[in-house]
Amino acid sequence: MSIVVLQQGIMDTIQDKGRYGFQHLGINPGGVMDRIAMAVANALTGNPPDEAVLELHFPAGKYLFEAPALIALSGADFSATIDGRAVPLHQPLYVPAGAMLAFEKLRTGARCYLAVRYGFALTPWLGSCSTHLKVAQGGFKGRALRKNDQLPLRQPLQTIGDRHMFPWTAATDHLYNTQDTIRILPGACWDMLDAPSQQQLLTGSFRIGPHSDRMGFRLNGAPLRTHKKEEQLSAGICKGAIQLLPDGQLIILIADHQTTGGYPVAAHVATADIPALAQYQPGQSLQFSITDREAAEEALWQQERAIRYLQHASQLHLEKWLLPYELY
């Protein structure tokens, strides 16, 4: 059985943690923009944390469930409804056969994630179900979902009566950086910036430009300068790298970044703060603050530990509520 796309969204794609180990072949990792939202939605449905999910941008699509399903939504708030009835984020939701999931209004955030218990029946490409749009591989036919697509479910769920919401939710505030700044670490070319530019990077305000996408966030702000013009050799690049462009503006490389780059890398976004950054919309302002490796590693460890706690707690809840329906 499948989930049928009744109305196409602006960019609804299947994503998971990404495909690693192929950058030397020019294949970037890709994957979800917000790994925390993916992990939360999967935990609430009893899936492994890296199970493939549907990454939605607003306006998102409308979806008809041909079979009953247990789902969860996390990340951005798009005012989700099931058959016209408002449903919350961060809570397991039972969707009966024939019901329609829709997203009515953008409230907060940029990307919403939909997980389905047992996952989608998809064929991985190079070990991942993430959609690689440039080479049209992975995900669902290597592309964003379109009207009338039928997204197959790996395993049907038994009907569990009239229940729509399960009586527990996941608290997520502690999983994200709730400070007013995005934490960064100095990059390999930090010392190439002149002193005023270093100060501007740490105290100035930057606005996410309109041409930002899953490849990178282009920032608009006061131009930054280096001590001298110096050609850079192309080198491997990673998610979170902040490159200084020839015009003095910055770009933060995100999920679909290129595999190599020759622009100076002034700084790196701490891995723990990339999920928070992923929920910024074009036009929003952001500021940076400096951190060190030890603090960045501790922040990431705290996130991973909290996600594991959520996984264990959700599993216990699901066993209690679903056992009468012989799903275990």
**Quick one: pLDDT band at residue 163, thresholds 50, 70, 90?**
low
**Got the DSSP string for 60-116?**
P-EEEESS-EEEEEEEEE--EEETTEE--SSS-EEE-TT-EEEE----EEEEEEEEE
* 8 Å CB contact between 44 and 103: no
pLDDT (mean) for 290-316: 95
User: Is 115 within 8 Å of 44 (Cβ atoms)?
Assistant: yes
Q: What is the DSSP letter of 24?
A: G
Q: What is the pLDDT of residues 33-49, one digit of tens each?
A: 999 999 999 999 999 99
Segment 81-114, tens digit of pLDDT = 999 999 999 999 999 999 999 999 999 999 999 9
- Spatial distance between the Cα atoms of 120 and 237, rounded to a whole number of angstroms: 31
d(CA 64, CA 284): 33
User: Residue 197 corresponds to which tokens in the numbers above?
Assistant: 């530019």
Q: Look up tokens 């920032």; give the residue.
A: 219
Q: At what angle do helices 35-45 and 293-322 cross, to 10 degrees?
A: 20
Alpha-carbon distance of 319 to 299, in angstroms, equals 31
Instruction: State how far Cα 328 lies from the chain centre.
Output: 30
CB atoms within 10 A of CB 266: 24
Q: Which two tokens stand for residue 136?
A: 């049209």
Identity at 86, one-letter amino acid code:
A
| CB proximity list for 16: less than 8 A, separation 6 or greater | 31, 32, 38, 50, 51, 52, 53, 128, 129, 130
Cβ neighbours around 316 below 10 Å, total: 11
Convert the pLDDT of each residue in 113-153 to its tens digit: 999 999 999 999 999 999 999 999 999 999 999 999 999 99
User: Percentage of the chain surpassing pLDDT 90?
Assistant: 81
Task: Give me the count of residues in the chain.
Answer: 328
How far is the C-alpha of 32 from the C-alpha of 60, rounded, in Å?
A: 16
Closest CA to 222 of 239, 199, 256: 199
Domains in the chain: ranges and CATH: 2-172+305-325 (no CATH), 182-291 (2.40.100.10)
